[in-house]
Amino acid sequence: MKILVTGATGFIGQRLAIKLAKQGNEVHALCRDPFHPYLAEHHNVKPFKGDILDKQSLLNAIKDCTQVYHTAAMAKMWTHDKSEFHRVNVSGTRNVLEVAELSGIEKMVYTSSCGVIGPTINEPLSENDPRITGFPIDYERTKYLAELEVNNFAKRGFPVVTVNPSRVYGEGPVTDSNTVSKMVTGYLKGTWRIIPGNGEQIANYAYLDDVVNGHIAAMKQGKIGQRYILGGEDISFNSFFDVVQRVSGKKKRLYHLPQPVIKFYSYVEWLKTTLTGLPPVFLPEFADRLKYNQKYTSQKAIEQLTYKITPFEEGMERTVNYIRKCII
Partner 1 sequence: MHHLTAIVTGASEGLGKCIAFELANYGVNLVLVSLPESGLPQLCDFIKKNYHVNVHKIETDLCRFENYESIFNELKEAGIRVDILINNAGVGNFALFLDKSLAFYKSQIQLNAMVPVLLTRLFLEQVKDNSPCYILNVGSLGGRFIMPQKQVYGATKSFVRYFTNCLRLELCDTNVSVSLLSPGGINTKPELLVLHNSLKGLSRASILEPEAVARIAIKGMFAGKKEIVPGRLNQLLVLLDSLLPAEIKDIIMKRRMKKIVSKNTHIQSAHAESLLKESMP
Stretch that binds partner 1, among 142-150, 208-216, 302-310, 316-324 (CB under 8 A): 142-150
Stretch that binds partner 1, among 10-18, 39-47, 72-80, 140-148 (CB under 8 A): 140-148
Burial class for 161, CB neighbours closer than 10 Å (0-12, 13-18, 19+)? buried
Instruction: State in angstroms the smallest separation of the CB of 122 from partner 1.
Output: 5
Beta carbon nearer to partner 1, 246 or 263: 263
Report if residue 260 touches partner 1, rule: CB under 8 A: no
Do strands 2-6 and 26-31 pair parallel, antiparallel, or not at all (unpaired)? parallel
Backbone angles phi, psi at 118, to 5 degrees: 95, -170
Among candidate residues 101, 24, 27, the one with its CA nearest the CA of residue 59: 101
Of residues 35, 123, 249, 325, which one binds partner 1 by CB under 8 A?
A: 123
Of residues 103, 151, 179, 299, which one binds partner 1 by CB under 8 A?
A: 151
Distance of CA 19 to the CA centre of its chain: 17
Backbone angles phi, psi at 230, to 5 degrees: -110, 95
Stretch that binds partner 1, among 26-34, 132-140, 207-215, 241-249 (CB under 8 A): 132-140
Burial class for 265, CB neighbours closer than 10 Å (0-12, 13-18, 19+)? middle
Report if residue 274 touches partner 1, rule: CB under 8 A: no
**Which positions ≥6 away from 183 have C-beta within 8 Å?**
192
Beta carbon nearer to partner 1, 134 or 258: 134
Stretch that binds partner 1, among 6-14, 126-134, 221-229, 296-304 (CB under 8 A): 126-134
CB atoms near residue 258 (< 10 Å): 11
Report if residue 121 touches partner 1, rule: CB under 8 A: yes
Report if residue 129 touches partner 1, rule: CB under 8 A: yes
Stretch that binds partner 1, among 50-58, 61-69, 134-142, 195-203 (CB under 8 A): 134-142
Instruction: State in angstroms the smallest separation of the CB of 96 from partner 1.
Output: 17
CB atoms near residue 200 (< 10 Å): 12
Of residues 33, 102, 106, 132, which one binds partner 1 by CB under 8 A?
A: 132
- The footprint of partner 1 on this chain (CB under 8 A) covers a number of residues equal to 21
Q: Is 88:52 a contact under the CB 8 Å cutoff?
A: yes
Among candidate residues 311, 327, 294, 319, the one with its CA nearest the CA of residue 164: 294
Whole-angstrom distance, CA of residue 149 vs CA of residue 143: 10
Whole-angstrom distance, CA of residue 256 vs CA of residue 311: 26
Task: Pick out residues in 28-87 that bind partner 1 (CB under 8 A).
Answer: 82-83, 86
Whole-angstrom distance, CA of residue 263 vs CA of residue 177: 22
Stretch that binds partner 1, among 120-128, 221-229, 252-260, 302-310 (CB under 8 A): 120-128
Task: Pick out residues in 287-316 that bind partner 1 (CB under 8 A).
Answer: none
Report if residue 144 touches partner 1, rule: CB under 8 A: yes
Instruction: State in angstroms the smallest separation of the CB of 288 from partner 1.
Output: 9
| CA dist list (Å): 174 to 148, 186, 281 | 29, 11, 16
Q: Which residues lie near partner 1 (CB under 8 A)?
A: 82-83, 86, 121-123, 128-130, 132-136, 138, 141, 144-145, 148, 151-152
